[in-house]
Amino acid sequence: MSVQEIPLTTIRTRIRGVPLMPEAVMLALAVIAYFLFPYDLALLTRIMVMMLFVLSLDLVLGYAGIATLGHAALYGTGAYAAGLFAVHVSADPVTGLVVGAAAGAALALVSGLLLMRAHGLTLLMLSIAVTLICQEIANKARDLTGGADGLRGIRMEPVLGLFKFDFVGRTGFWYALAVLCVCYAVLKVVTLSPIGLSVRGIKDSAARMVAIGSPVYRRLVTIYTIGGAVAGVAGALAAQVTQLVSLEVYAFNLSAEALIMLILGGAGRLHGAIIGTLIFMVVHHIAASVDPFNWLFIIGALVLGIVFFVPAGMLGIPAALRNLTGRNGDARP
Amino acid sequence: MNNLVRAALAAAMATLCAGACWADTIKVGVIAEFSGPFAIYGKQYKEAIETYVAQHGSQSGGHDIEFIYKDVGGANPDLAKTLAQELLIRDRVNYLAGLTFTPNALALAPLIEQSETPTVIFNAATSAINKQSPYFLRTSYTLWQVSTPLADWAYDQGIHTVVTAVSDYGPGIDAENAFKAAFEKKGGKVIDTIRMPLATTDFTPFIQRVRSQAPNGVFAFLPGGPPTFGFTKSYNENGLAKEGIRFLGTAETEESNLQALGDAAIGLTTAFHYSEAHDSDVNAAFTKKLGELSAGAVANWASVGAYDGTHLIYKMVEAAGADGPKAIEAVKSLKWESPRGPVEMDPKTRTLIQNVYIRDVERDKDSGRLVNREKGVIATVGDLGWTD
Amino acid sequence: MSLILNIAVDGIAYGMILFMISIGLSVTMGLMRVINLAHGAFALLGGAAAHALIARAGLSFMAAALLAIMATMAIAFLLERLVYRRIYGLGELQQVLATIGITFIFIALVNRLLGSSLLAIPLPDFLQQSVDLGFRVLPAHRLAVILAGAVVIAGLYLTIERSRFGTRLRAAVDNRSIASALGINIDAVFAATFCLGAGLAALGGILGAELLPIDAYYPLRYMVLFLIVVSVGGMGSITGSFMAALALGILETASRYLIPDFGTIVFFAAVMAVLAIRPRGLLGKA
Amino acid sequence: MQGLEVRGLRKSFGGLTVAQEIDFDLPPGARKALIGPNGAGKTTFANLVTGKLKPSGGSIRFDGSDIGSLGESERVKRGIAKTFQITTLFRTMTVRENIRLPILERQGRGGRMFGGAAADRATEAEIDALLDQFALLPLADKPIHLLAYGQQRLVELALTLALRPRVLILDEPAAGVPSSESHLILQAIERLPAELAVLIIEHDMDLVFRIARSIVVLVNGRILTEGTPDEISRDPMVRQLYLGEAHV
């Protein structure tokens, strides 16, 4: 095995073996959406920020099986870091994202050292506790964060010095789409890499992973840290687009909704996260506009519907249909 | 590609401008909470707006006025800004309104600055918001506005030592600072300042701490709903009133949750700008119509904020149609008789100059309901928290 | 000295309230191994029903509380038949989702029917008084909660640990097929246990309403609090929940007395420390 | 000395002693079986050797160096591997992926974040060869859960061999396999590399007697006796204690 051989085969496998079709379709749809809904760019941008957040949850939960209800901790920390950086250091957006990623990763690393030792309910509770502690710290550090009033005074410079953030949200849209694509590509590489396979193995059977000599705990901390970086980018992006960070970046609801979106789309596949977020956000948006008082009924019914009828998420629907029509190619003879 | 973008933009901007220039229907976007833990606020706003419309018609200055409601679900600046963009760009609203929470209002500042959209804040009570954009108008109150007169009044009543107990978050700390500054200026002594975590469910420890210091009064500030409920219950159960420790509050006895407090609330003293029981014709007409339109509706600060905010919007539309800067100019010194009493817009802070009343909770003999009975006006002030 | 006494008295009283509001969850989640985030929804149902019966129908507190608990159990029974029995076999995350969905629907329902303001449950006069303990007064209501907590834990101990029903339940949870082969009617055992949990949730909602007032958003507002009690106590352990509730009550009360400024952080840091050292909770079974 | 060398191994849980003073050797090329009645401590012993359990006393040496303080995964890296009593595979993956994982770990590449997991041609060739050896190649791209149980046991064996272990512990390799498929397991075990040290824990006496060249009998956490299959089958104590029981 020669060293030069690896990148070559990597590329070849990528082209031959990996269907990039869903990705191409999604990107095309995003571009079409831009022209189809020129008045809803702000909403589309927000959806993309959520997609990024849910993607990061997909890596952590969908791939590695780390059941967390505290993903907002990473998002919020990225948001505050990017916000503070913009206010006090530099208003350059791209550097801000890097700072957000670093902050998210740092918190994930530190908290992951504890969290990755836990499972089940204990892990859920620990992850919630981390988030609540972060929120209380942000609330107490009022001089720095603005407390409940929010961190204000974020004014962004043009992206790459060229594109100014505008009123209608065109720059915001393309900026968010670019960041989403870059992060998606990174996650794609990570999930296809040995560590990606490795954490899927941990999700399937941690005991077996130990038995093949894998340092399970270290792998989980690593993947959680990568997830933290992506969640941090999502938070940073939100902070830059909204130009304000509030304590609600640490809201429990955010973690819970991300979970719903992920399961809705289909956990363990990156495009599942994208589809789930899109469907949830659009249903939420329409339901909340049609009936701002009672849309929670619809969301509740939607959630129950997923659990009972499409447990594998929207991506599982084709298989479910095949099952119905009795033409399931996977079925055992 | 680039040409395509430009063409699309041109089309978008053209429709945008057309909407603004030709509208004979003036649209008002209301961003408020219609779901989640604060859904009551959105409900109060909507009922008050509908009451105003029922009383004054759906037209002003020859323009039809249409309200579009958007649910922001709580403090959520990301969503608030998205909704505002949607309202401004797609629905082409000419005015924005609502805004219960400070972060939501702050997130809109850069937007309304660019679109020159007058934005009427029904609640968000942090002084600094209005500094962020000249297009903000506020029909609620600020914490300084009610806390400072309360401190002065309390001292004059012979309450010379006070313990402050506030929820440990921005507004609570503002209230503590406002009260403390005014009270000490008068010569009073704040012997202890307690900050209670927002997540507190059992207030007994704090009440015991107040009790052990035997002050003349306790100044409290808590967010509406469960915390206020828990605090006033504890205050009552632990016999502080009997020991002569007077309760001094602001929004704690607001009407939407007052009946839920029960007899525990009787005798609580608050300084505030609005009581449902305010004795005036305008208020009587308002509460009567409100009750007719929505059975069981109560009027509180949120209702009156929205009602006066709607009034302000009607006046702006009448004077300037859809012209934002002109509209602001037209109402920035406006005076009118509100259900809360006489009010006047302060051109500098764009917050109301209004009466602050001292009230006690009593059980109304006729209706059997708990009410905030006004005992007198203790000040007529604007936003005292404004700093240049 | 009086400070320590105060902490002890208030901490135990508060701990008992925590116990009462989370014991129902300890039954459904701890014994039946369902991650039941909808626990608060049953407490809300009970509380809202009690509110409606007292404030709108004019019933007495006792009658209303009893009726409300029975109504909640009836709804729980239906829900168990229609929905929950499909949830038992699902994975952890699916259970989280399903029960969140149920919670959303109940919140929307109560919001629709009763609005989103506080739904007070007025106490009878004898519970509104204060009892003089010599060095300080304590509300009679809290003594009543302590009493009710003692009755509930004794009752549960006898039901779960000592009765045939308890044996069957534990057998059914541990191994469905063997239990079923032994002639245990698993469906009936689960349905009964679930109704018991929901009834206790309603009881806790009503008795705890003085501190955790009922409103439409109740289930989500206090969800974390319920979960903390059960996870610190340990899944599957009634005694564990009881100890956890008392310990957390005393811890929180002490932090409120001694270091109020950092109470929240201290509280959650302590919870994390317990869970880090004892991942299965204080009395959790391996 | 080469291979595994256990001396005076003890383990107790509270007051309950599950392993006492066990002396045990497993040199390269060995084919040993560990038998004993239920609860004799066979699985406990295996777990002590693999590092899943920490011993209360005694020493475990491998190729002359003390491995008693090493964690489970470090021991795997040294070359001690084990199959599970109940099939434990990566159920959402294909057969090929199941084999790829241990190879990546063996190569020390399991934690890499870039470069496709399937990108290395030599690795893929190795997977093919291994699968071919177990006649699993036609199933390579099937998800595990579609395989028959006997085939899954083979995948488990292949997966463990992919680690290129020097000591292999087989914990009831034929458990749960229908008799129609058990010959597959037997064949696979018979074809294991000659230099590999194999310890088999098994109830199926036919299997034990066909594979093992030496049998250790464990009773109540203590080694009762050790000998060739012939000696063991003639040993009256064993007949009474173990075989007798097994044939009742």
Q: Provide the pLDDT confidence category of residue A16 given band limits of 50, 70 and 90.
A: very low
Percentage above 90 pLDDT, chain D = 9
Of B36, B195, B233, the CB nearest to C217: B36
* Chain A residues touching residue B126 (CB < 8 angstroms): 149
Which of B43, B201, B245 has the highest number of chain C CBs within 10 A, making it the mutation to test binding with C? B201
Of C13, C116, C264, the CB nearest to B39: C116
* Chain A residues touching residue D89 (CB < 8 angstroms): 204-205, 208
pLDDT digits (tens, 9 = 90+) for C61-119: 899 999 999 999 999 999 998 888 888 888 778 888 889 899 999 998 998 888 888 88
Does position B12 have pLDDT exceeding 70, yes or no?
Answer: no
Of B9, B35, B85, the CB nearest to A295: B35
Of B205, B208, B260, the CB nearest to C117: B260
Range from A232-236, D2-6, D16-20, D163-167 carrying the lowest mean pLDDT: D16-20
pLDDT digits (tens, 9 = 90+) for C190-244: 888 889 889 999 999 998 888 888 988 899 888 888 888 888 888 777 888 888 9
pLDDT digits (tens, 9 = 90+) for A235-260: 999 999 999 999 999 998 899 899 98
Indicate the average pLDDT of chain A: 86
Of A244, A295, A296, the CB nearest to B106: A244
Does position D130 have pLDDT exceeding 70, yes or no?
Answer: yes
Does position C48 have pLDDT exceeding 80, yes or no?
Answer: yes
Name the more confident of A130 and C23. A130
Q: Provide the pLDDT confidence category of residue D248 given band limits of 50, 70 and 90.
A: very low
The amino acid at B21: C
- Predicted model pTM: 0.89
* Chain D residues touching residue A10 (CB < 8 angstroms): 115-116, 119
CATH of the domain at C69: 1.10.3470
pLDDT digits (tens, 9 = 90+) for B138-186: 999 988 899 999 999 999 999 999 999 999 888 888 899 999 999 999 8
Residue D248 covered by a domain? no
**Mean pLDDT, to the nearest integer, of B226-238?**
87
* Chain C residues touching residue B299 (CB < 8 angstroms): none
Of C111, C139, C211, the CB nearest to B201: C211
A288 part of contact set with chain B, CB < 8 Å:
yes
Q: Provide the pLDDT confidence category of residue A321 given band limits of 50, 70 and 90.
A: low
Residue of D nearest to A3 (CA): D120
Q: What is the 3-state secondary structure (H, E, C) of chain C?
A: CHHHHHHHHHHHHHHHHHHHHHHHHHHHHHHCCCCCCCHHHHHHHHHHHHHHHHHHCCCCHHHHHHHHHHHHHHHHHHHHHHHHHHHCCCCHHHHHHHHHHHHHHHHHHHHHHHCCCCCCCCCCHHHHCEEECCCCEEEHHHHHHHHHHHHHHHHHHHHHHHCHHHHHHHHHHHCHHHHHHCCCCHHHHHHHHHHHHHHHHHHHHHHHHHCCCCCCCHHHHCHHHHHHHHHHHCCCCHHHHHHHHHHHHHHHHHHHHHCHHHHHHHHHHHHHHHHHHCCCCCCCCC
The verdict on a CB contact (< 8 Å) between D111 and A330 is: no
pLDDT of residue A19: 63
User: A199 with A217: CB under 8 angstroms?
Assistant: no
What does each C-alpha distance from B370 to A5, B240, B255 come to in angstroms?
82, 20, 8
Tell me the torsion sign for CA atoms C229, C232, C238, C244.
negative
Residue C286 covered by a domain? no
Sheet strands (E) in chain B? 25-32, 59-60, 63-71, 95-98, 119-121, 136-138, 161-167, 189-196, 217-221, 246-249, 269-272, 335-338, 341-345, 352-363, 370-381
pLDDT of residue D72: 86
pLDDT of residue A4: 39
User: D42 with D218: CB under 8 angstroms?
Assistant: yes
- Copy the structure tokens of residue B262: 């029960």
Q: Provide the pLDDT confidence category of residue D244 given band limits of 50, 70 and 90.
A: low
pLDDT of residue D243: 54
What is the distance, to the nearest Å, from the Cα of residue A149 to the centroid of all Cα atoms in its chain? 26
Does position A6 have pLDDT exceeding 60, yes or no?
Answer: no
Of 3.40.47.10, 3.40.50.2300, 3.50.50.60, 3.30.70.980, which CATH number belongs to B143-272+356-381? 3.40.50.2300
Percentage above 70 pLDDT, chain C = 98
The verdict on a CB contact (< 8 Å) between C107 and A296 is: yes
B70 part of contact set with chain A, CB < 8 Å:
yes
pLDDT of residue D11: 86
User: A49 with A176: CB under 8 angstroms?
Assistant: yes
Indicate the average pLDDT of chain D: 85
Name the more confident of A128 and B2. A128
What whole-number distance in Å separates Cα of residue A68 and Cα of residue C211?
Answer: 29
pLDDT of residue A7: 45
Q: Which domain holds residue C62?
A: 2-277
| Cα distance between the two ends of chain A | 40
What ipTM describes this predicted complex?
0.88
Question: Total domain count for chain C?
Answer: 1
Indicate the average pLDDT of chain C: 85
pLDDT of residue A5: 41
**Mean pLDDT, to the nearest integer, of A151-160?**
85
pLDDT of residue A11: 45
What dihedral angle (degrees, nearest 10) is formed by the CA atoms of A37, A40, A46, A48? Answer: 10
A244 part of contact set with chain B, CB < 8 Å:
yes
Indicate the average pLDDT of chain B: 87
Residue D56 covered by a domain? yes
**Pick from C23, C4, C8: nearest CA to C245:** C23
Distance from CA of A123 to the nearest CA of C (A): 9
The verdict on a CB contact (< 8 Å) between C227 and A300 is: no
The verdict on a CB contact (< 8 Å) between A244 and B107 is: yes
pLDDT digits (tens, 9 = 90+) for D106-124: 888 888 888 888 888 888 9
Residues of chain B with CATH 3.40.50.2300: 3-141+279-350, 143-272+356-381
**Mean pLDDT, to the nearest integer, of B348-376?**
90
Does position C286 have pLDDT exceeding 50, yes or no?
Answer: no
CATH of the domain at D232: 3.40.50.300
The verdict on a CB contact (< 8 Å) between A117 and C279 is: yes
The amino acid at D175: A
**Pick from B192, B176, B200, B233: nearest CA to C256:** B200
Question: Total domain count for chain D?
Answer: 1
Q: Provide the pLDDT confidence category of residue C1 given band limits of 50, 70 and 90.
A: low
Which of C227, C275, C280, C283 has the highest number of chain A CBs within 10 A, making it the mutation to test binding with A? C275
Percentage above 90 pLDDT, chain A = 49
What's the CATH superfamily of B3-141+279-350?
Answer: Response regulator (3.40.50.2300)
**Residue C82: burial class (beta carbons within 10 Å; 0-12, 13-18, 19+):** exposed
User: D133 with D56: CB under 8 angstroms?
Assistant: no
C93 part of contact set with chain A, CB < 8 Å:
yes
pLDDT of residue A181: 93
Does position D77 have pLDDT exceeding 60, yes or no?
Answer: yes
Residue D243 gets which letter from DSSP?
I
pLDDT of residue D199: 92
The verdict on a CB contact (< 8 Å) between A194 and D111 is: yes
Q: Provide the pLDDT confidence category of residue A324 given band limits of 50, 70 and 90.
A: low
A218 part of contact set with chain D, CB < 8 Å:
yes
**Mean pLDDT, to the nearest integer, of A321-332?**
50
**Mean pLDDT, to the nearest integer, of B5-20?**
48
pLDDT digits (tens, 9 = 90+) for D190-224: 888 889 999 998 877 788 888 888 999 888 888 88
B204 part of contact set with chain C, CB < 8 Å:
yes
B208 part of contact set with chain C, CB < 8 Å:
yes
pLDDT of residue B17: 46
What is the distance, to the nearest Å, from the Cα of residue C281 to the centroid of all Cα atoms in its chain? 17
> What residues have CB less than 8 Å from A324, skipping those under 6 apart?
none
Does position C158 have pLDDT exceeding 90, yes or no?
Answer: no
User: A146 with A267: CB under 8 angstroms?
Assistant: no
Q: Which domain holds residue D128?
A: 4-243
pLDDT of residue B67: 94
Of A122, A294, A311, the CB nearest to C94: A311
Does position B282 have pLDDT exceeding 70, yes or no?
Answer: yes
Does position A17 have pLDDT exceeding 60, yes or no?
Answer: no
Which of A116, A295, A307 has the highest number of chain C CBs within 10 A, making it the mutation to test binding with C? A307
pLDDT of residue D246: 47
Residue C283 covered by a domain? no
pLDDT digits (tens, 9 = 90+) for B77-126: 999 999 999 999 888 999 999 999 999 999 999 899 888 999 999 998 88
